[in-house]
Structure 1
């Protein structure tokens, strides 16, 4: 345990005066210092025999010691070159995500934990070195890095059971869990130097050279210890790498065990580009009439239920006795879509899980995904939806993501 400079100077000054009572005085100062150190907030101590998440071994103890329901941790990195983001020789940190064992996930779980100003929080905790690291490696494509940090904690950090305020003992300082979340995210990122691993094996950014999916995956898996997930963009260029873990104990100080990626890459087998961060110019479109594009205000259509009558109306309920409502899918800032009807934006309720639309729902908080081919709408990794029953005449029935109800279906945009 290190004594503060002030304390050391005070002790040395008293000692130089040769005061007989010095020994008792010094002892008192040391005891006071020890008391202050012990009172600092620390995570609860957990049993050593806690199982890893997502195994057959069950654990019904303290959720501060066992991540639940999110038993899969993902460390995600991006390679953004248009516009260029971050150092030229580094993937940037995107986030630390908590998924359920089946690959689905929760989001924005606890509004009481949400934060608004990350820089202020880090400065209040004197985490200047951490802030400097984040400003270098945790980058947002639009230049507003803090917006990304805030989004990552509010969407994912609030769903982590082991970093709640109740999981700390001692004199808890507000937002210590927030600081610890960002610390751990950066720490994991630093253990996974994706760019170095690739370049050491001859896979370097180039405007001419291309690589196979197996080259990239084998290189990263050899270092990580398990198959990883890579994602390519529309130019068949490498853009994302995801690392998957199971966890023993807390997100903050637990043991991370690498596991195989839980999703399959859609990158081509051959011809993958690794585009340098400087000097990229998008290909010139072929001559001729411009292809039809997506309207600037979003993609419009009806929300229908596959193999079921009726459709979704503007408040988010399933209805079979009237006209369908028009919904708009708007690109969300950090991926996926927001859904909006004439009533307002749409969310999945954090109380009963139902899909609902109204004026009090914030945009860009609840993001959905759309399958490009089948037009299915998914939420939190769940591609299926359910309801308790088929609506009777002039009845409205709520719908929910998942398969827990009596009626299960895919929701799609028509």
Structure 2
């Protein structure tokens, strides 16, 4: 992707600020439970920098400790793709491009330290015990040509080696070789989880379509309403295909406080007639958020990969299942289904899925349950013990999630629709 030189950053105001692991606001923080969960499982790296210092690009005096102050690349871009030809990633999520450290004046450096290049990111993360980060990357950080490993290596070698706060001398004493790269990938994944672009647009009534078009103002206003800051959108012709979210940073890239800012770059899309195309396997053709999702494939057939959506008694869809098996309105998990519609097992990135004492859950310690799928109109409904009824103690919104129970013994009832991805 080409890079654009940006204007000087003086005079930018802070819209909000938050740290990886310290929720301070809604909007950008709608997915923080997942972020905190991944931190608890595998975060073993600490910068000891704190977040009380000056934000990058906003210092008024020279800063000597560049282990705790990102410079010169203090303008951070979290970039995402919406790939449709061919499609990459889940049909209801954008995918990761990278996290780039541009200079405060809009210039940038690349390939800053070839001695720290990595070419086997999978082994690096596995050896570091960062398996959940790797699992997430396999689903949400994917290359359009199928060369994920090369893509990940490129992002680290080209951009990651340019972070001053990730220099080996800034890491805890005794850190193994490659710890800097492990910290980079963990941070990129954590940050991406707080930026559910698909959900942001969906919450404002904008979903992929084979026929609808949108104005640039519609898209930008929708994203600003959800996140509190305006990102930069990129189009290929009239097709929406990329987005950049901008930040300054207080502290280290490892565990610092990201300060979201309005994009200093103008979107490259036309002012109107913008298409938000469907990914392969998508079924939505409207801009509403209340329509019932339609399963892909032959009615009654079982997809091998799917998201699970919650359909309430009114017929409206309200979120669906996360990877732990909880009900949420955040970006849904992709499940692997093994078997046939009459008898199959489910797994998520967390592990096997099952129902125990009436509670649905997924994880490494969960005993797998055999489920079935029952056709109902255009939907393929998940059934446990032959019943398609599930219930919870409340309706999720924002970062609030609820446990899922089989049957109707809890106050909020719904069915779960299997939507192929």
Q: Determine the structure 2 residue equivalent to 1:136.
A: 139
Secondary structure at the residue paired with 2:212? strand
Distance 1:89-1:47 versus aligned 2 partners, 3 A rule? closer
- 1:11-30: CA deviation from partner (whole Å, max 9, x where unpaired): xxxxxxxxxxxxxxxxxxxx
Q: Determine the structure 2 residue equivalent to 1:259.
A: 261
Give unpaired runs (5+ residues) of structure 2: 1-42, 283-421
Give unpaired runs (5+ residues) of structure 1: 1-39, 281-414
Deviation at 1:61, TM superposition (A): 2.4
Q: Aligned ranges for residues 225-374 of structure 1 at < 5 Å? A: 225-234=228-237, 236-278=238-280
Q: Determine the structure 1 residue equivalent to 2:224.
A: 221
- TM (normalized to structure 1)? 0.56
Structure holding more helix per residue = 1
The answer to whether structure 1 residue 147 and structure 2 residue 143 are counterparts is no
Could you tell me whether the CA contact under 8 Å between 2:91 and 2:279 is conserved in 1? Answer: yes
Distance 1:279-1:90 versus aligned 2 partners, 3 A rule? closer
Q: Determine the structure 1 residue equivalent to 2:187.
A: 184
Q: Determine the structure 2 residue equivalent to 1:60.
A: 63
Aligned pair count reads 240
Distance in 1 between residues matched to 2:100 and 2:50, nearest whole Å: 24
Secondary structure at the residue paired with 1:205? coil
Distance 1:178-1:117 versus aligned 2 partners, 3 A rule? same
Distance in 1 between residues matched to 2:158 and 2:265, nearest whole Å: 20
Equivalent in 206, 209, 218 of residue 212 of structure 2: 209
Q: Determine the structure 2 residue equivalent to 1:403.
A: none
Deviation at 1:169, TM superposition (A): 2.1
- TM (normalized to structure 2)? 0.55
Distance in 1 between residues matched to 2:112 and 2:270, nearest whole Å: 36
Q: Aligned ranges for residues 370-381 of structure 1 at < 5 Å? A: none
Could you tell me whether the CA contact under 8 Å between 2:95 and 2:141 is conserved in 1? Answer: yes
Q: Determine the structure 1 residue equivalent to 2:402.
A: none
Report which of the two structures shows the higher radius of gyration computed on alpha carbons: 1
Q: Determine the structure 1 residue equivalent to 2:177.
A: 174
Deviation at 1:58, TM superposition (A): 2.2
Equivalent in 53, 72, 87 of residue 69 of structure 1: 72
Equivalent in 91, 102, 105 of residue 105 of structure 2: 102
Q: Aligned ranges for residues 386-405 of structure 1 at < 5 Å? A: none
Could you tell me whether the CA contact under 8 Å between 2:51 and 2:256 is conserved in 1? Answer: no
Could you tell me whether the CA contact under 8 Å between 2:47 and 2:252 is conserved in 1? Answer: no
Q: Determine the structure 2 residue equivalent to 1:314.
A: none
Q: Determine the structure 2 residue equivalent to 1:353.
A: none
Deviation at 1:47, TM superposition (A): 5.9
Higher RCO (C-alpha under 8 Å, 6+ residues apart): 2
